[in-house]
Amino acid sequence: MLYVWGHSYEFDNDMNWDMIESFCKLVGGREDIWYATNMEIVDYLKAFRNLKFSADSQFALNPNALSVWLNVDGIIYEVKGGEQVRLSEDSRVSKI
């Protein structure tokens, strides 16, 4: 996670608007980046912590409304709200 926070007057004070403009060009408008508000991050973390796993960690159950993503052995899984996902290369999704 990269968290960017600050006040615009700081760029005036430090005379470095070019730095933030270059940064925004680099990271702006990308489909592989989630641009989130503070509350969206809080909600996501709560949903992530609320995931339920089987005793053998072969399944993940998401009782939340939000989708949550997991990286298991290099495989990315989206566990949609209200779904259970098998955490293996042979993933099967079932609704609860």
What is the per-residue pLDDT for 45? 96
Q: Is residue 45 part of a domain?
A: yes
Residue 85 belongs to a domain: yes
Q: Looking at this protein, which amino acid is placed at residue 36?
A: A
Please indicate, yes or no, if residue 86 is contained in any of the structural domains.
yes
- Judge whether 62 lies within some domain: yes
Confidence of residue 96 (pLDDT cuts 50, 70, 90): very low
Report yes or no on 3 lying in a domain. no
Q: Do 84 and 61 contact (CB within 8 A), yes or no?
A: yes
The 3-state secondary structure of the chain reads: CCCCCCCHHHHHHHCCHHHHHHHHHHHCCCCCCCCCCHHHHHHHHHHHHCCEECCCCCEEECCCCCCEEEEECCEEEEECCCEEEECCCCCCEEEC
Q: Is residue 1 part of a domain?
A: no
pLDDT digits (tens, 9 = 90+) for 48-84: 999 999 999 999 999 999 999 999 988 999 999 999 9
Residues β-bridged to residue 60: 53, 85
Asked, for residue 22, whether it belongs to a domain, the answer is yes
Residue 44 lies in a domain: yes
What domain range is 46 assigned to? 8-30+37-95
**Cα-trace Rg, the chain:** 19
- Counting the structural domains of the chain, the total is 1
Residue 4 has pLDDT above 60, yes or no: yes
d(CA 49, CA 41): 12
Structure tokens at 1: 């996670």
pTM here? 0.74
